[in-house]
Structure 1
Amino acid sequence: MTATTAPSREDIVRRAAEVVPTIAKHAAWADDNRRLHEDTIDAIVGAGLLKLRVAHRYGGYQANMRTVVDTITEVGRGDGSAAWTTAVWTICSWLVGLFPDEAQDEVFATPDARVCGLLSPGGAGTPVDGGLLVSGQWAFNTGASQSDWNSLVVVAPGPDGEMWPVMTLVPTKELQIVDDWHTVGLRGTASVTTAVRDLYVPQHRILPLAPVLQEQYASQLNADVPIFRVPMLLTAATTTAGTALGLVKAARDAFFERLPGRKITYTSYDSQRAAPLTHLQVAEAALKIDEAEFHVYRAADLLDDKGVSGEAWSVVERAQVRADLGRAVQLAKEATDIYRNASGASSIYQHVPIQRIARDMEALSLHAILHPNTNYELYGRILCGLEPNTFYI
């Protein structure tokens, strides 16, 4: 274990920006092969991006959420799948920081350990001496085949005998990889199904989920570190929202790269750039990007501020973050659609990036913790004085 002086936010984001060309170079390959190219992973690791949410004592940066969002956004300008996978590795590295310190020592004994995982139960745990025997299968397990560790949620008996979800940490080499990731978007994330039968998980790699959802974490050494004093679900959701910002900026870049010399077929416009329609389209898209950034940054800043102050979270604040992220995704998707619709019929060719970007944005917008309608409904319930209809808040 080696503590480090963390680089500044500007340095971290600059490092991410510097590897965007490498990531973009392999984006089409990742889409075709349904996993990230090794050069992409090497670039992400080499830039230090897997250290974002790792504790200082393991050489990590303990970066705040605003830095995380800006970093994931940069990666997303190169490839949405790379951004989503980096976001998952970032979230799960942070999740490890909630476990008992013994588990953290085990995981981060490997520098730049890649930890993936998911939050929904997919299996069961049977108590045995010193831990659990875990069996089950978990779909949508982003980056599992390219990760070292996996955080999996199972249902297991609590001290009172009642069944409760618990988080477990397991080496991915112990899991069966089911190659079923055949999708139309975020194809490079390799979000395959994993399965296991009767895998022993020791007690120090088990964390009950109910206390976690109330910010009651097991780590003693991270207890007073601001980034580890905030809600788990809101941390995860805000991290992934950086992918939406990256994708919409990639869509903007792709559109303007093709704009010079393009005409509007079957019209008198020899230059699309001269058409008033184009002016209206790009202005509306630009404003939607600005608005999306506002909502993501408001969520990130609230997490950062409350992590530092240690103030308790109200239910309204929790729901507002979910609503902010849903709104940001909706706006980012709308802006992406504007650029896609303005790109003409030639944009449907596979070698034109905007079609892949739009597919990735569509897939992202359907994710349960980012889905606009789901998040709006939750916020509206709270504003109407009703109780939340979910524990994931």
Structure 2
Amino acid sequence: MRDSCDAVEADDPMARPGPEVIAGAPDRVCRVLVAVQALAPLIAAQRSEFDRGRRLPDAVFAALADAGLFRLWLPHALGGLELSPFEFMRVVEAASALDGSVGWLVANGGGMSRIGGYLADTIARDWFADRHAFVASSTGAVGTGTPVDGGYCVSGRWPFGSGAHHATRFMVLASIRPEEPESPLLCCYLGRRDVTIHDNWHVCGLRGTGSCDFEARDIFVPAAHAHPFLGPRPTQPGLLYRMPPSSVFAWSICGVPLGIASGAITSFAELACRKSRLGTRALLRDRETVQATVGRARAMLLAARAFLIDAMTELMAATETGGERLVKARADLRIANAHAAETAMSITDELAASAGAAAIFETCAMERAVRDVRAAAKHIAMSPNNYIIAGRLALGLDPGAARF
């Protein structure tokens, strides 16, 4: 009879995609997922450098780029995959199950490739001609974009520029009239040489993302290299580029905490197959309380994912109809994001508690998972404040969020 520990090893995401990730996926998505899993040995070998360098090692970043993981939402017409939102989430989950920092940069880099759907064809082709093109973005601060002849003069300092050390472009928010609270916001794109990176990413979680501050002073941005933050006019026909950009932005990272939690479940199962309770020969896996913890974690993960999928399904339909239906769909997507992050934190916390003292060592995958999932959950797109938006709508009030 085959030992259950062997079964766990066979289902290890380091070996192949789990069935919940790959079942029913089109061939092109399966190929991407297989490419993600093929990176597992490199990621494992380089992981200690993530914390030491506070960024991804060059070899890991290059491998992600070579696998096409920073082109997931680039339009088909420009040589990208233009994955559906659901396919995109599956890929991000798979990458995040290997490592939270890797998943975060796949989510951010792959997500930002959607700008090819808002830019002129010639510009987008030029920027993404290099397979290693990566757009670091920040919506955590607003700079100034003073109108000048032919474009804007942009200045500011922006935080959380994930992947800044490897970025070829930087997307920033800039206000045309900063003295006016309701001034329109622009997405402005800066070149690598236009910015100064401040090496200030000293954090407890997602250390390998290199999410440093970056700064620009009096940089000319051509009008063709900017578009409205809210309501940009799509240059590509796909539904992805017609959906509310702020909602698509929020969706792009929702798979990260779920992937981290999924990886934690696998790591705990492996630990439970070899770790005995102090003073006994009984393995953790043989205790009913542990079995219940893993079963509950699995149920929580699947439920959170189902809520996200349901919310995105409705958002896609509501994009075509608009009106109040779209407003509600956007709010529901935000609370699905917040719920997924909270659920992922609960899963990792419960598994770490069941693992006992083993989970406090940096060599334990669950120790990293706890740190990484809590860092990911701090993102505004997964903030508990999103519940306020949905609550206000349910109570007959306006959303009450300027960037909603």
Quick check: TM above 0.5?
A: yes
What is the CA distance between 1:185 and its match in structure 2? 0.6
How has the CA–CA distance of structure 1 residues 264 and 16 changed in structure 2, closer, same or farther, with 3 Å as cutoff?
same
Q: Does structure 1 residue 130 correspond to structure 2 residue 145? A: no
Work out whether 1:18 is the aligned partner of 2:10.
Answer: no
Match of 1:358 among 349, 353, 370: 370
Return the match for 2:387 from 358, 367, 376: 376
- Report if aligned partners of 1:27, 1:78 keep a CA contact under 8 Å in 2: no
- CA change 1:162–1:366 in 2 (3 A) is closer
Is 1:170 the equivalent of 2:190? Answer: yes
Q: CA deviation at 1:7?
A: 5.8
Identify the residue that residue 265 of structure 1 maps to in structure 2: 278
| 1:106 counterpart residue number | 126
Q: State the 1:42 CA deviation.
A: 2.2
Choose from 308, 314, 334 the match for 1:296.
308
| Partner SS, residue 320 of structure 1 | helix
* Structure-2 separation of matches of 1:295 and 1:116: 29
Check if 1:86 corresponds to 2:106. Answer: yes
- 1:56 is displaced (CA, Å) by 1.6
1:28 shift after superposition:
3.0
Shift of 1:57: 2.3
User: How far is the alpha carbon of 1:208 from its aligned partner?
Assistant: 2.1
Q: Does 1:311 align with 2:321?
A: yes
Alignment of 1:1-393 (within 5 A): 8-157=28-177, 163-209=183-229, 212=230, 216-220=231-235, 222=236, 224-265=237-278, 268=280, 270-305=282-317, 310-312=320-322, 313-371=325-383, 373-393=384-404
For structure 1, which segment, 356-365 or 96-105, has the greater mean C-alpha deviation from structure 2 after superposition?
Answer: 96-105
Local SS of the residue matching 1:99: coil
- The code of the aligned residue for 1:61 comes to L
Distance across 2 between alignment mates of 1:299 and 1:390: 19
TM-score norm. by structure 2 comes to: 0.87
Shift >6 Å, 4+ stretches: none
Deviation at 1:365, TM superposition (A): 1.3
Quote the offset at 1:290 in angstroms.
1.2
CA distance in 2, matches of 1:208, 1:105: 20
Contact 1:98 1:218 in 2 (8 A): yes
Secondary structure of 2:355's counterpart equals coil
Distance 1:201 1:107 in 2: 15
Provide Cα deviations, 1:171-219, integer angstroms capped at 9, x if missing partner.
Answer: 123210100000001111100000111111111011122xx3xxx3234
SS of 1:344 mapped into structure 2: helix
For residue 20 of structure 2, what is the aligned residue in structure 1? Answer: none
Residues 172 and 188 of structure 2 are in contact (CA less than 8 Å); yes or no, is this contact kept in structure 1?
Answer: yes
SS at match of 1:153: strand
Distance 2:361 2:385 in 1: 33
- Matching residue's letter, 2:356: G
The alpha-carbon distance between structure 1 residues 377 and 161, as it changes in their structure 2 partners (threshold 3 A), is closer
For this pair of structures, how many residues does the alignment match?
Answer: 376
**Secondary structure in structure 2 of the residue aligned to 1:194:** strand
Provide the rounded CA distance (Å) in 2 between the counterparts of 1:386 and 1:185: 36
Return the letter of the residue paired with 1:183: V
What letter corresponds to residue 47 of structure 2 in structure 1?
A: A
CA 1:270–1:123 in structure 2 vs 1: closer, same or farther (change >3 Å)? Answer: same
* TM-score, L = length of structure 1: 0.90
- The unaligned stretches of length 5 or more in structure 1 are 1-5
**CA offset digits 1:245-275 (Å, max 9, x no partner):** 1100111111112112312226x56321222
TM-superposed deviation, 1:78: 1.1
In structure 2, C-alpha distance between the alignment counterparts of 1:12 and 1:46, rounded to whole Å: 11
- Counterpart CA distance in 2 for 1:367 and 1:346 is 28
Give the aligned residue type for 2:199: D
How far did 1:110 drift? Answer: 2.7
Q: Distance in 2 between matches of 1:180 and 1:169?
A: 22
Is this contact kept in 2: 1:149–1:172, CA < 8 A? yes
Moved more, 61-70 or 124-133: 124-133
Cα distance, 1:189–1:115 mapped onto 2, change above 3 Å:
same
The percentage of aligned residue pairs carrying the same residue is: 26
Q: Aligned letter for 1:286?
A: R
